[in-house]
Amino acid sequence: MPKRIVLYTWVWRACDGGLEPALRPAGRSFLLDTALLDRDMPRDLILHIGTSKTGSTSIQNLLDINRPALLAQGICYPATPGGNTHLLLASAFTSFPTMYNDPDNPLWQGRKPEAAIADHLAQLRAEVAGLSGDTTRIILSCEQFSMYERTEADIVRLRDFALTLADRCTVVVYLRRQDEHFASLYSQFLRLGNIDEPNMGKLHPFHQDYDYSDFMARWANVFGKENVVPRIFERGTDKRFDVLADFAGVSGFDLTLMRFQKEAVRNQSMTLAGQEMLRRFGRRLQADSPDRNLPGQIWQRAAKAVSDTSPGKGWLPTQAEARAFMEGYAASNDIVRSAYFPDKASLFQTSFDALPMQAETVPLEAVVAATVEALLASLKDGVAREVRFQLEKAKLAQAFGDATLRRNALSQAVRLDSSNVNSRLRLAECLAEQGDMSAAQQQLAVAAKLAPGGHNVAVVRRKLMAIGKASAP
């Protein structure tokens, strides 16, 4: 249970011999978890709050797969509630109303938001309470901290909870030049169903707070300026910025002891043609919708198909648009520079040379080509799902001893995708086990042509030989 700790201060008081030191209450107190009292060393908490489009996913994937290596360095990246980001914790203290209005939000796992949050906080406290005394640092990471905790009251609730887990808390935040952030986020918003043309004069409610002085002040007012560490997410002239190395340096872990794995590309940008195709598709879907909403599954599949088939550089503002946009934040950025980076001439690079002089247009032929590629990818994905369904049905039929259903399901899988080697090999095994060795050999021969020298082909060939020998008179 937390205990209330009263702070005392030394004072001098009069006595018969003159002055003597004495302790008296300093007028301040706070709650401290009793688990903190049992440790020999203070525990720090690194609260990484994003912002979006600054490499947060890469940071979280690194921390997620290296939890044992981090613990060996005395650092805990909590597993509660099991994901690689602490999204539920960011959702716990927000006053942003739409977070709690959707009962179908998978974040709540079918429960009421209040119940899901209470359970999560209890699990997180229990995980931290079970840490050994030599674990001196905790890292929490979620870019939604910077978006969901929108008021100082929200941030106060987050801070008070954080200080039940550790003695001190440091906020780490990455800031990106506002026009670059806007352009980088556009494809992501398009995938989420915002099919408007890009407009730098119209910000979505979930855009990162671009008034960085106001944004930083809210966090500094609550945590203390000395406990807020802004970092500049900016690619230099070589177009590179190693956010993992930077975060490791700020957080105090040895990056050379970490293992890495290839990440799936998420939230990648789409080409101009892909963006235009998706906007047109969205407007067509809206025309059939009485409430003007995009149908969830259809839109999500279309957005995925376009993202997969049209990756590349998307919309960018013109130099004039970006310059005017940044002028609106010049004073705010300079306040942040003066407060946190007094040695820098400007908070961000000031060149706009990488941007186009004129607005870029998309030829109709490019939009048609992007449409064809997305359609092809979507159809292939649909066929692949059908094949997987038939293979699973065949597996269940085998478990229940239904030979006819098993054979029919595997035959259907082959008809759906005649180039699928796995379907043909499983059908060959099935036919051989049911005594149709001639048909089994035919399926094996086709599979061998599709995958010459394949290991699985050799395995099934040996199985068919064994079945043939066992059935010979």
List, for residues 337-394, the tens digit of each pLDDT value. Answer: 999 999 999 999 999 999 999 999 999 999 999 999 999 999 999 999 999 999 999 9
pLDDT band at 10 (very low <50, low <70, confident <90, very high): very low
Instruction: Look at residue 31 and tell me whether its pLDDT is greater than 60.
Output: no
∠ CA 273-375-387, nearest 5°, is 145
Give CATH superfamily name and number for 366-471: Tetratricopeptide repeat domain (1.25.40.10)
pTM of the full structure: 0.80
The predicted pLDDT at position 218 comes to 97
Instruction: Look at residue 291 and tell me whether its pLDDT is greater than 80.
Output: no
**Over the stretch 293-350, which tens digit does the pLDDT of each residue have?**
777 788 888 999 999 999 999 999 999 999 999 999 999 999 999 999 999 999 999 9
Instruction: Look at residue 7 and tell me whether its pLDDT is greater than 90.
Output: no
**Over the stretch 438-473, which tens digit does the pLDDT of each residue have?**
999 999 999 999 999 899 999 999 999 999 888 776
| Omega before residue 81 within 30° of 0, cis | yes
Average pLDDT over residues 138-155: 94
pLDDT band at 265 (very low <50, low <70, confident <90, very high): low
Nearest to 172 by CA among 107, 217, 219: 219
Q: Which amino acid is at 377?
A: A
Q: Give CA–CA dist 148/90, Å, rounded.
A: 7
The predicted pLDDT at position 211 comes to 94
Cβ neighbors of 403 (< 8 A, separation 6 or more) are: 397, 434
Domain 39-269+316-356 has CATH 3.40.50.850: no
Average pLDDT over residues 99-104: 69
The predicted pLDDT at position 27 comes to 46
The predicted pLDDT at position 235 comes to 78
The domain locations on the chain are 2-33, 39-269+316-356, 366-471
**Over the stretch 42-89, which tens digit does the pLDDT of each residue have?**
899 999 998 999 999 999 999 999 999 999 999 999 998 777 999 999
**Is the dihedral angle over the CA atoms 317, 320, 321, 322 positive or is it negative?**
positive
Spatial contact of 283 and 195, defined as CB atoms under 8 Å apart: yes
Q: Say what percent of the chain tops pLDDT 70.
A: 87
The predicted pLDDT at position 193 comes to 87
Instruction: Look at residue 417 and tell me whether its pLDDT is greater than 80.
Output: yes
pLDDT band at 11 (very low <50, low <70, confident <90, very high): very low
- Whose tokens are 């002089």? That residue is 357
Q: Which amino acid is at 438?
A: S
Residue of 69 and 204 predicted with greater confidence:
69
Cβ neighbors of 344 (< 8 A, separation 6 or more) are: 337
The predicted pLDDT at position 452 comes to 92
Scanning 400-452, the segments in alpha helix (DSSP H) are 403-416, 421-433, 437-450
Q: Give CA–CA dist 311/76, Å, rounded.
A: 36
Q: Give the range among 141-155, 264-278, 455-469 with minimum mean pLDDT.
A: 264-278
Asked if the domains at 39-269+316-356 and 366-471 fall in one CATH topology, the answer is no
**Over the stretch 164-188, which tens digit does the pLDDT of each residue have?**
999 999 999 999 999 999 998 888 8
